[in-house]
Amino acid sequence: MKKGILFLLFLVYMLTACQEKKSNSTQQKVFLNKEKKEKKENMNVHNTPIYRINFESYLPFELYLNDVLIDKNNSNGSVDFFETLNEYILSSGKQELKIKLYPFIGKSKVSYKDMEDIKVQIYKSPSLNDETFTLIQDIKFPNFKDNLPNFEYKTYFEVEVPYKNIGWMNSKDLTKEENLLDEVVLFYENVRTILNNGDYEKYFALNKLADDEIYKSLYLGRDKEKEDKEKEINRIIDSKGKMKKLEDYVLKYYGNGRLVRLEKLDGSSPLCADRDDVESYYNFFLHKKLDSNRLVIVR
């Protein structure tokens, strides 16, 4: 009887010990998984570099990254902005920045003195909302004596990003395409109709590739994407029945001939809604994949 009681106590002890061991093992797994998740989240937080350009100019200008137009101004007057560059950066490596400067309105040439106050700087921050900016390049223009009809300067800077977007890497050279203007105008007319109908779902479908890559390059989460979409939905609804006719445009090539779009003479998009409070412009770049003849919005 005594032996039976001892055996029973031993059995209870062993079962309890096994249960505790299993419980401790489960807790350890939960702890390790949590630690791994936190480590991954922290890694993502610190691996979301944002590159920006600080630009200040009194001269008319055009500013390009990898031959994609970032901004331009055709008139005299001070222009300054602090622009995010990531959507034009497809992958890590060398990036080409091109600056074109033109004479003041009323003058025929640019002098080096005209450019003295122009500021061009490339900054990096740890994330989109982090205001800790590190200067990675302060661009200085080379001196020249003779005045020029215009001034063009190229420089390069290195970036390191955790993503790789396809973008227009594998796109056709559209400068070799025949009847391209007719195709592009037809595409714009279709988009104009979609916007004039306030059909944001069709517009989002056309922009899916571009939106996916832009959100990826800016490391936006679902909440931020949803917020951005809601703003665009409101803008498209406000544009319903207010889209101007397509007119006074020219076909422009970018991305070393792999991107195209229509522009008015001042550089703005001919896709414009004449809203009560403000004119609302819709901008994008088109491309064709190497294995396709279809124009697609890529940015």
pLDDT at 41: 44
Long-range contacts of 143-151 (CB under 8 A, 24+ apart): 143/112, 144/112, 145/112, 147/109, 147/110, 147/111, 148/109, 148/110, 149/103, 149/108, 149/109, 149/110, 150/100, 150/101, 150/102, 150/103, 150/110, 151/100, 151/101, 151/110, 151/115
pLDDT score, position 27: 57
pLDDT, position 234: 96
**Mean pLDDT, range 150-162, rounded to an integer:** 97
Q: Find out whether 194 and 200 touch, Cβ atoms under 8 Å.
A: no
pLDDT at 137 over 70: yes
Q: What is the pLDDT of residue 21?
A: 55
> Quick one: tokens of 181?
């203007």
Q: What is the mean pLDDT of residues 57-83?
A: 93
- Greater confidence (11 vs 206) lies with 206
Q: Is the predicted pLDDT of residue 6 greater than 70, yes or no?
A: no
**Choice between 138 and 36, residue whose per-residue pLDDT is larger:** 138
Residue range 231-242, pLDDT digits in tens: 999 999 999 999
Give percent of the chain with pLDDT exceeding 70.
85
**295-298 long-range contacts, Cβ below 8 Å, gap at least 24?**
295/183, 295/184, 295/187, 296/209, 297/206, 297/207, 297/209, 297/210, 298/167, 298/168, 298/171, 298/209, 298/210, 298/213, 298/259
> What are 158's two structure tokens?
């290195």
pLDDT of the residue at 223: 92
The larger pLDDT score, comparing residue 228 to residue 16, is at 228
pLDDT of residue 34: 54
Q: Six-digit token pair at 165?
A: 């977007």
Residue 1: is its pLDDT beyond 50?
yes
Chain-wide mean pLDDT for the chain?
A: 89
Burial class (CB in 10 A: 0-12, 13-18, 19+), 31: exposed
pLDDT of residue 278: 85
CB atoms within 10 A of CB 122: 21
For the ranges 4-8, 68-72, 132-136, the lowest mean pLDDT is seen at 4-8
Q: Look at residue 42 in the predicted model and tell me its pLDDT.
A: 43
pLDDT digits (tens, 9 = 90+) for 19-62: 655 555 555 555 555 555 544 444 444 689 999 999 999 999 99
Integer Rg of the chain from CA: 28
pLDDT band at 3 (very low <50, low <70, confident <90, very high): low
CA 50 vs. chain centroid, Å, equals 10
Model confidence band, residue 219 (pLDDT cutoffs 50, 70, 90) = very high
**pLDDT of 14 higher than 90:** no
Condensed to tens digits (0 to 9), the pLDDT of residues 251-294 reads: 999 999 999 999 998 889 999 999 877 899 999 999 999 999 99
